[in-house]
Chains A and B, each alone.
Chain A
Amino acid sequence: MRSFIQINDLWYSYFGARFPSIKRITIDIEKGEKVLVLGRSGSGKSTFLLCLSGLIPHSYSEGTMKGKIYIGNEDLSKVPPYFLKNKVGIIQQNPSNQLFERSVENEIAFGPQNVGLSVEKIQERVSFALNAVEIEKYADQDPFKLSLGLQQRVCMAAMLALNPSILIFDEPTCFLDEKSTKNFIRILKKLNEDQNITIIASEHRTKRINSMFERILVLNKGSIALDDTYSILKNAQLCSEYGIQPIESEFYPVKENFLSNNRNEKVIEVKNISFSYNGQRILKNISFTVNKGESIGILGENGSGKTTLILLLAGILRPLSGTIRINGKLPSNLKRKELAREIGVLLQNPDENILTPIVWTEISSSVQINNLPPQEKEMKIKDILNQVSLSGFEHKKIFKISYGERERVALGSLLASNPEIIILDEPTVGLDYENKVQLIKLIKNLLQEHTLLAISHDFEFLKAISNKFLVLKNGVIYEDNNTWMVNYGK
């Protein structure tokens, strides 16, 4: 008898690519199974999930597919996903890019409308989906104004309204804080137990969601390298071979000798600042100081005001009350060029930080570099590329290189201004374990010459690079000088 999902010798090659993205994949998945797909960036995880969702070959037309995928008795290469009896829903990395309606209930009703259900039946499905992911009270709200965690639940509800047998997630927790991740896992478990929905997900942060999955598939260079239970994540050697994070891994905390010696001088002084947006108070009377050479980790739930705080420090926003001094100067008194020399910010998602198509032009887009004589400019760019381990990438197209490499290009363009203070906003989002380890090394090297502030939901990353923490909660900041005492998530 055929398994619920049967994949026979699946291959997929993108046009113009030298090697197939996935190859020789033959596996069976039973109904109700919970499968976690792991592997390095570029190992073929996303392509594999797109094939399973039916978007390849029916919506994606950027390559050629060989092999068969059967869901029940239906051949996915012949039957588009919306005609399948066992429907498949896929939720991609960034939930906000998958929404388009102005109310949650209309977003959820979109699918059932498309399959031609009666109005009563649609209303019933919308109610069921809202209830299943516990967002009834947000039914009338604009999904774009909800937090990322809630947006992800809206995406899940939109799929659930189509009554799927399979739910697929591509890095579901990468934008979520600890609390939202816990909620996400709880809801996923409930859906699996109550509806017997098969759950397939890819993820880099294995520690956050391993408890949910009983079966692990490891992809390496497009092939299935391991198909086992989650106990393989305890095998550090095996994990290191395939570039995945073992459960019991621990990053070493930042050592004193990594930090600059001169740490008495105040570089950032924030005094009683408040900030409101659309009548809502985001930051309330916040005060803190950062000394030269310190490395500060900033924690807080989604929507707690972390990004607002860094935009205030960078002089992009102005506080409603209170003062900010960068090296004793008010940001509002400095020209952009001068401010860029004092403080550099790497915003969340490297793709949103990129302004030009080529690595070389991107690094040289900073005014500090652009104004140098040609020879000096060339030397400086090469030096920066070397610093971010991207030598030889000078003339590469940015959108053709991997996500981790794009992250380093964005960091390189920030270093081009040679700012004294570096602020990183969620730098580990979307990075695989190996790239994260490389980023930590890179940051530790930068700590000798720069003061660092990093915002992240990835607590183990922050622990590895910070000597002090600031915790933002409900617009108020709490300081914690002891790295090991912060009990994030509680």
Chain B
Amino acid sequence: MKITIPGWSIMANNSRIITSTYFLDPRVQIFGSCAFLMIVVSIKNPLILGLIFLFVLILWKVNRIPIKNILSMIKLGLYLIGMLIVLSTLYSYFFPQDMQFIPFFLGVGIYYEIFIVFLMLTLRFFILISYMILLSFTTTPSRMLSALRALKIPYELAIMATITLRFIPLSLEIWKKLEIVAQIRGIETKGFKGRLYAIKNLSFPLLIQTIKRAKELAYSLDSRAFRSINKPVNLIPLKFHKLDYFVVFISIGLFAVSIASYLGISLLGLLT
């Protein structure tokens, strides 16, 4: 019997496009994720953050992850901007602030500084969430486990991280089911009010159901000899390819640029 590299065989069976994301060595995926996280945190320009978010969405599209999973998040962001405009307008009339107010029409507008801070926080949040979902969809648990163990992470911690990653799509599934239950009872979960209701009232059952599933999975792993030896056999060989070196190189480069821009150093100035 031939043990295939999981991501590849699953893709072939489900006739989806095999993209380079799936072929990346999982160690590179972990390294790239850390670099990406640092880049996102250090960038202070909302335009660049917006471009990065767009880039992640393109990766979603390329990897055939349904974009509708993230549309609701974007809609919520737009609603919050709407609220920000209402609050800014009210403040500009009743409690004027010492900030730049940009009117759109008939005195309705927004405080520029507040808008920029809000935009950056929201974009960072969106990027991290969408990137985590991308990672969980394009990395199989066994490959992630092998990578974490190759990086000398203790086995128990490695499996916890792997299961967490596996639970992202599962939690999305539970959330969708809970929305259906609420809708069946006549509760609207779409639109601004509906979303707020969903976040407020469905988070508790989501937590309960996720814990229940996690417990059952833990018992299943225990009955499959999990923790019986310190060094379980690593079934999947990890090997660097050209693409992996390229991604590492790009990650380091982008990370250096973002740190430099964070510290206010002009790389061009350094070179000349």
Chain A: residues with CB nearer than 8 A to chain B? 53-55, 58-60, 80-83, 87-90, 92, 94, 97-103, 105-106, 109-119, 122-124, 126-127, 140-142, 145, 155, 158-159, 162, 311, 314, 316, 335-341, 344-345, 347, 351-357, 365-368, 399, 413-414, 416-417
Contact = CB atoms under 8 A, between A and B. Distances in A.
A82 B216 contact: no
Contacts of B187: 336, 365, 367
Interface in B183-226: 183-188, 201-202, 204-205, 208-209, 212-213, 216-226
Contact of A140 (B12, B204, B223): B12
Contacts of A311: 180
Contacts of B216: 92, 94, 97-98
B122 to A, nearest CB: 28
Contact of A102 (B140, B183, B223): B140
A141 B223 contact: no
Nearest to A124: B1
B52 interface: no
Contact of B10 (A103, A115, A353): A103
Contacts of B224: 110-111, 114, 158-159, 162
A102 B180 contact: no
13 contacts: A82-B228, A89-B223, A99-B220, A106-B140, A109-B142, A110-B142, A122-B233, A122-B235, A141-B10, A162-B224, A336-B186, A337-B186, A344-B184
B186 A347 contact: no
B257 interface: no
Given A110-B224, A140-B12, A116 B3 contact: no
B231 to A, nearest CB: 7
Contact of B183 (A54, A98, A158, A316): A316
A314 B181 contact: no
Interface string B157-190: 0000011001000000010011011111111100
Contacts of A126: 1, 3
Nearest to A92: B216
**Top 7 closest A-B pairs, CB basis?**
A340-B186, A98-B220, A82-B225, A82-B228, A140-B9, A111-B224, A114-B225
A138 to B, nearest CB: 9
Greatest chain B CB density within 10 A among A103, A141, A356, A366 is at A103
B205 A354 contact: yes
Contact of B201 (A339, A355, A366): A355
A116 B233 contact: yes
Contact of B202 (A162, A314, A355): A355
Nearest to A315: B183
A341 B186 contact: yes
A89, A336, A340, A341, most chain B CB atoms within 10 A = A336
Contacts of B212: 97, 351
A411 to B, nearest CB: 13
A100 B159 CA distance: 11
B7 interface: yes
A118 to B, nearest CB: 7
B228 to A, nearest CB: 4
Given A336-B183, A399-B208, 14 more contacts: A59-B218, A59-B219, A94-B216, A100-B217, A103-B10, A113-B234, A140-B13, A141-B13, A155-B220, A355-B202, A356-B204, A367-B187, A414-B184, A414-B185
A92 B221 CA distance: 12
Contacts of A366: 185-186
A419 B250 CA distance: 59
A163 to B, nearest CB: 11
A97 B224 CA distance: 14
A145 B142 CA distance: 17
Given A83-B228, A88-B223, A115-B225, A340 B14 contact: no
B17 interface: no
A356 B219 CA distance: 26
